[in-house]
Structure 1
Amino acid sequence: MNTEQELLDSAALTVYRLNGQFLTIGDGLAAPAGISVAWWQVLAAVQQQPLPVAGIARAVGVTRQSVQRIADLLVGQGMCEYRPNPAHKRAKLVAITTAGEAAIARIDPQHAAMARRVAEALGPAEFATTVQTLTRLSAALESIITADDPATRTAPPPPAG
Structure 2
Amino acid sequence: MALTVFALNGRFLKIADQLAEPAGLTATRWQVLGAVLNEPLTQAEIARRMGITRQSVQRTSTQLIEDGMIQFMPNPSHRKAMLLTPTEKGLEAIGKIGPQHANFANRLEIKLGKERMAELSEALTELQYALEVVDLQENEDPAS
**TM-score of the superposed pair, with normalisation by structure 1:** 0.86
Counterpart-to-counterpart distance in 2, 1:29 and 1:91:
31
Q: How far apart are residue 61 of structure 1 and its match?
A: 0.8
Counterpart-to-counterpart distance in 2, 1:61 and 1:22:
15
Query: What are structure 1's unaligned runs of at least 5 residues?
Result: 1-10
The answer for the alignment partner of 2:113 in structure 1 is 123
Counterpart-to-counterpart distance in 2, 1:19 and 1:92:
30
The superposition leaves residues 118-140 of structure 1 with CA deviations (integer Å, 9 ceiling, x where unpaired) of: 11111000000000000001100
Alignment of 1:36 onto 2:3: no
1:72-83 paired onto structure 2 within 5 Å? 72-83=62-73
| Bigger relative contact order (CA 8 A; separation at least 6) | 2
- Give the counterpart of 2:136 among 137, 143, 146: 146
Counterpart-to-counterpart distance in 2, 1:99 and 1:130:
33
The superposition leaves residues 22-79 of structure 1 with CA deviations (integer Å, 9 ceiling, x where unpaired) of: 0010000001111111000011100011100011111111001100111111111100
User: What letter corresponds to residue 116 of structure 2 in structure 1?
Assistant: E
Cα RMSD between the aligned structures? 1.2
Counterpart-to-counterpart distance in 2, 1:19 and 1:117:
19
Counterpart-to-counterpart distance in 2, 1:31 and 1:90:
33
Moved over 3 A (4+): none
Q: Secondary structure at the match of 1:95?
A: strand
Alignment of 1:68 onto 2:58: yes
User: What letter corresponds to residue 33 of structure 1 in structure 2?
Assistant: A
Alignment of 1:109 onto 2:91: no
- Give the counterpart of 2:5 among 3, 15, 19: 15
The answer for the alignment partner of 1:4 in structure 2 is none
Q: Secondary structure at the match of 2:84?
A: strand
Counterpart-to-counterpart distance in 1, 2:36 and 2:23:
17
Aligned residues: 143
Alignment of 1:47 onto 2:42: no
Query: What are structure 2's unaligned runs of at least 5 residues?
Result: none
